[in-house]
């Protein structure tokens, strides 16, 4: 951080804000303030360049046309985002945002949308569309994550990348994993929004920027997480039973 104020950047909310991902920014700002840190939510509209002075960059979800427009602005600001990353900034990219931090997204209409290339990943439109509760077992030191997915993309990570975690219920990347996890970077298909549902993940992002964090009472958040975990697990069990019955004819 360049000064004492945490700057949480909500990037292109009018393009990448279809599924309530603004809530991720609100949660990060509030959980920082609860710990006594000055924090502000910085909205970056699509008509403006993305500044290199943010501490957290949040890229949310959107449909193909807004995603294409967002990609152009993100590529134009790639150098600034790179400088911010070099200076310790963190990134959370959800759904379309996750696809756009990779090399490209090949749409169902044959268009190829170039991304930022922050991670070695390629996404292609697939079928069927993946919609519903998703439960992910993280690869590193976090409790099980819950979310809601709504996408048609199938994301392939490069050999040097590692996913955020293993899918227990839902589709995720389409290969049994979800997202990507790098130094100070998370990509995922989990909406919900993901950070209100999973306070430990919110605190992991904050710790990358603020360092060690004082504990918070997250009893209400954990109650919500437990409820959604039950709902996601039940949905997965129902799907397994339906698939089993269909397989029997």
The CATH number of whichever domain residue 237 belongs to comes to 3.40.50.880
Quickly state the pLDDT bin for 238 (edges 50, 70, 90): low
pLDDT digits (tens, 9 = 90+) for 94-144: 999 999 999 999 998 889 999 999 999 999 999 999 999 999 999 878 999
Which 8-state DSSP code applies to residue 191?
B
Tell me the residue range of the domain where 201 lies.
5-248
Pairing of strands 104-106, 121-138: parallel
What dihedral angle (degrees, nearest 10) is formed by the CA atoms of 163, 168, 171, 176?
50
Active site residue ranges: 95, 191
pLDDT digits (tens, 9 = 90+) for 180-220: 999 999 999 999 999 999 999 999 999 999 999 999 998 88
Residues 76 and 28 sit within 8 Å (Cβ to Cβ): no
Q: How many domains does the chain have?
A: 1
């Amino acid at each position: 951080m360049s000064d004492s104020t945490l700057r949480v950047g909500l990037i292109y909310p009018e393009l990448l804000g279809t599924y309530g991902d603004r809530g991720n920014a609100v949660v990060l700002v509030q959980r920082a303030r609860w710990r006594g840190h000055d924090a502000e939510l910085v909205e970056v509209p699509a008509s403006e360049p993305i500044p290199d002075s943010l501490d957290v960059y949040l890229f949310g979800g959107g449909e193909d046309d807004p995603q294409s427009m967002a990609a152009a602005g993100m590529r134009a600001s790639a150098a600034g985002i790179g400088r911010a990353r070099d200076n310790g900034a963190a990134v959370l990219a959800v759904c379309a945002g996750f696809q756009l931090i990779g090399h490209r997204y090949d749409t169902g209409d044959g268009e190829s949308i170039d991304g930022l290339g922050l991670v070695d990943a390629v996404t292609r439109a697939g079928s069927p569309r993946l919609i519903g509760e998703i439960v992910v077992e993280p690869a590193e030191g976090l409790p099980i994550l819950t979310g809601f997915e709504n996408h048609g993309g199938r994301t392939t990570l490069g050999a040097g990348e590692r996913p955020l975690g293993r899918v227990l219920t839902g589709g995720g990347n389409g290969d049994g994993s979800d997202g990507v996890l790098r130094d100070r970077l998370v990509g995922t298909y989990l909406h919900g929004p993901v950070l209100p549902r999973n306070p430990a993940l919110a605190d992991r992002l904050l710790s990358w920027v603020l360092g060690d964090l004082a504990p918070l009472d997250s009893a209400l958040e954990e109650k919500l997480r437990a409820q959604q975990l039950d709902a996601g697990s039940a949905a997965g069990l129902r799907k397994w039973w339906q698939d089993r019955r269909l397989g029997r004819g």
